[in-house]
Amino acid sequence: MGLFDFLKKKEPTYDPANLTIHDLRAGFIFDYDLKTWIIREEYLYDWGDHYFTREFKIDSGDDSAYLHIDDNDDLFITLTKKIRIRSIDEDIPEVIKKDDKPPKKLIYNEITFYLEGTNPGYFSNDPKSDNWAELISWDYYDTKGEFTLAIEQWGEDDFEAAFGRVIKEFEFSNILPSNQ
């Protein structure tokens, strides 16, 4: 390494002329649902057996959400917002702790959801470090596969929930890289 190598700009690992949802990183900007969003934070989930998914905290100025991208087999994208766990069912944390699993069917926002997956894994907001947190995620979907509900358990008593939509790649446009 030369004396001034740190001043050299690092080359991007994507083609700036042909950006897709697979290229998203913190700082990127894109259009979705008639709003321009910026990616504020980037997270990584390790579900074991070399199976990873990415999640981004996104902000449009008047709204924030989480964009989850699973591109291991078929591309699967969800856009969710955190909700209070007890807004789903006031006893759900106690039910999960007692039974070691959530109910198979839940109703939220007048939508019936069915449990489709139990996923133990690890989460990192800095994948380059060895700082990973253990979690269990339960994924629910409505019968049409349009809406999603997720419950996560972090440790013994810490529960989080998110509600959102399943979205398609073509719904994103004008992806621009970070100017950093």
11 vs 171, residue with greater confidence: 171
pLDDT tens-digit readout, 132-179: 999 999 999 999 999 999 999 999 899 999 999 999 999 999 999 976
Would you say residue 2 lies in a domain?
no
Sorting pLDDT into bands at 50, 70 and 90, what band is 128? confident
pLDDT of 15 reads: 67
d(CA 31, CA 21): 11
Would you say residue 9 lies in a domain?
no
Which two structure tokens, joined as six digits, stand for 70?
């699973």
Identify the three-state secondary structure at position 76: strand
Would you say residue 61 lies in a domain?
yes
What range does the domain containing 133 cover? 15-176
Which two structure tokens, joined as six digits, stand for 60?
């449009």
Which two structure tokens, joined as six digits, stand for 75?
């591309």
If one counts the domains in the chain, the total is 1
Would you say residue 107 lies in a domain?
yes
In Å, what is the CA distance from 108 to each residue of 38, 39, 43, 83, 164? Answer: 28, 28, 26, 11, 11
